Structure 1
Amino acid sequence: MKNVGEARETPTGAPQEELATGERSTRNRVARSILDHGPSTVAELAGRLRLTQAAVRRHLDALVADDVVEAREQRVYGARTRGRPAKVFALTDCGRDAFDQSYDALAVDALRWIARQEGGEQAVAAFARARIADQAKAYRSAVESAAPDERTEALARALSADGYAAAARSAPLPQQGEQLCQHHCPVAHVAEQFPQLCEAETEFFAELLGTHVQRLATIAHGDGVCTTFIPAASKKPPPPEFSNATRNASASKAGRNPA
Structure 2
Amino acid sequence: MSRSSELRNNGVVKNVGEAPREDFAAGARADHPTRNRVARSILDHGPSTVADLSARLGLTQAAVRRHLDTLVAETMVEAREQRVYGARTRGRPARVFALTACGRDAFDQSYDSLAVDALRWIERNAGGEAAVAAFARARAEAQAAPYREAIARAAPGERTQALAKALSDDGYAATARSAPTPQQGEQLCQHHCPVAHVAEQYPQLCEAETELFSRLLGTHVQRLATIAHGDGVCTTYIPRSTTTPSASGSTAGRNPA
State how 1:46-125 maps to structure 2 within 5 Å: 46-125=54-133
Q: Which runs of 5+ in 2 are unaligned?
A: 1-6, 9-22
Partner of residue 51, structure 2: 43
Letter of the aligned partner of 2:246 in structure 1? T
Q: 1:90 and 1:27, CA in 2 relative to 1: closer, same or farther beyond 3 A?
A: same
Partner of residue 255, structure 2: 257
Q: 1:234 and 1:94, CA in 2 relative to 1: closer, same or farther beyond 3 A?
A: farther
Matched-pair contact (CA < 8 Å) for 2:29–2:36 = no
- 2:205 matched to 1:205? no
Query: How far apart in 2 are the matches of 1:6 and 1:165?
Result: 22
Partner of residue 233, structure 2: 225
Query: How far apart in 1 are the matches of 2:204 and 2:167?
Result: 19
Letter of the aligned partner of 1:179 in structure 2? Q
Query: How far apart in 1 are the matches of 2:87 and 2:176?
Result: 21
Instruction: Give the share of equivalent positions with the same residue, in percent.
Output: 75
How much does 1:4 deviate? 3.4
How much does 1:246 deviate? 3.4
How much does 1:257 deviate? 2.2
Letter of the aligned partner of 1:147 in structure 2? A
Matched-pair contact (CA < 8 Å) for 1:217–1:228 = yes
Query: How far apart in 2 are the matches of 1:70 and 1:90?
Result: 5
Partner of residue 24, structure 2: 4
Letter of the aligned partner of 1:132 in structure 2? A
Compute the TM-score of the two structures, normalised by the length of structure 2: 0.88
Matched-pair contact (CA < 8 Å) for 2:221–2:252 = no
Match of 1:85, SS state, is: coil
Query: How far apart in 2 are the matches of 1:218 and 1:110?
Result: 22
1:134-182 Cα offsets, whole Å, 9 max, x none, are: 1111110000110000000000010001100000000001000000000
Query: How far apart in 2 are the matches of 1:168 and 1:6?
Result: 32
Matched-pair contact (CA < 8 Å) for 1:4–1:27 = no
Q: Which runs of 5+ in 1 are unaligned?
A: 8-19, 237-244
Matched-pair contact (CA < 8 Å) for 1:5–1:66 = no
The RMSD of aligned alpha carbons is 1.9
Runs ≥4 residues deviating over 2 A: 2-7, 20-23
Query: How far apart in 1 are the matches of 2:111 and 2:30?
Result: 31
Equivalent residue in structure 1 for 2:187, among 168, 179, 182 = 179
- 2:161 matched to 1:153? yes
Matched-pair contact (CA < 8 Å) for 2:81–2:95 = yes
Greater C-alpha radius of gyration: 1
Partner of residue 14, structure 1: none
Matched-pair contact (CA < 8 Å) for 2:25–2:106 = no
How much does 1:105 deviate? 0.4
Q: 1:116 and 1:5, CA in 2 relative to 1: closer, same or farther beyond 3 A?
A: closer
1:118-142 Cα offsets, whole Å, 9 max, x none, are: 4200000000000011111111000
How much does 1:247 deviate? 2.4
Query: How far apart in 2 are the matches of 1:21 and 1:181?
Result: 27
